[in-house]
Amino acid sequence: MRTVIYPGSFDPITNGHLDVIQRASRLFDQVVVAVARNGSKQPLFTPAERKTLIEQSISNHDNVTVDVFEGLLVEYVEQQSGHAVIRGLRALSDFEYEFQMALMNRKLNERVETLFMMPRASYSFLSSHLVREIATLGGDVSAFVSPEVREALTKRLGQAGAN
Ligand code: ADP
């Protein structure tokens, strides 16, 4: 049983993340999408909300589960009996940070391999940050996220605007 961990903030999950999850789910027996509790200081969605949105967005994959974790990724991977970590690579700009992180994680635990996957080219410009910005400005994000995420964005940003 080969298990891979896909960690990230997923604030919120986008079609780019979903593309990576789908690719990983074809290669591994089990994919654990792991929402990092300690990430950006002021997330739009709580870790529990992000987890629910991921679950709603991936409802058709049997071998994908979603979890929230905190602390060191390498320790979480061991705890889950994971064999590897998946990260998405969009453009050269992702490389430097991802490269540093992969080597640091290897330093912390030699057994944890990091694998990189490229999404479909049309998703390579997509980020949660951009989706949040577009939604905040009232733009249409339906080409970038699932209907559930789009609805949650409208509700959250509508509520924020009403306050
Ligand atoms: P973080 O906040 O840790 O960078 P994100 O939630 O932004 O995490 O993303 C988690 C992982 O998914 C990262 O490896 C990131 O590079 C990757 N990723 C984000 N957006 C895309 C995308 N559009 N296509 C492919 N990979 C992506």
Domain that holds residue 81: 3-121
Ligand 1 site, residue 87, Cβ cutoff 6 A: yes
Closest listed residue to residue 79, CA positions, set 32, 132, 116: 32
Answer whether residue 162 is part of any domain: no
Q: Residue 36: what pLDDT?
A: 96
CA of 140 relative to ligand 1 center, distance in Å = 21
Q: Of ligand 1's atoms, which has the minimum distance to the CA of residue 10?
A: 6
Give the tens place of pLDDT for each residue, 19-58: 999 999 999 999 999 999 976 678 999 999 999 999 999 9
Answer whether residue 149 is part of any domain: no
Answer whether residue 80 is part of any domain: yes
Whether pTM > 0.95 for this model: the answer is no
Count CB atoms within 10 A of the CB of residue 92: 7
Pair 24, 117: CB distance under 8 Å: yes
- Report the CATH number at residue 70: 3.40.50.620
Ranges of residues in the chain with a pLDDT under 70 are 39-40, 159-163
Return d(Cα 6, Cα 35) in angstroms, integer.
9
Count Cβ atoms within 10 A of the Cβ of residue 9 and give its class: 0-12 exposed, 13-18 middle, 19 or more buried: buried
Count Cβ atoms within 10 A of the Cβ of residue 44 and give its class: 0-12 exposed, 13-18 middle, 19 or more buried: buried
Question: Has 41 been annotated as catalytic?
Answer: yes
Answer whether residue 153 is part of any domain: no
Looking at 26, 41, 59, 107, which residue is catalytic? 41
Answer whether residue 66 is part of any domain: yes
Tell me how many domains the chain contains.
1
Answer whether residue 141 is part of any domain: no
Answer whether residue 31 is part of any domain: yes
Looking at 50, 83, 90, 132, which residue is catalytic? 90
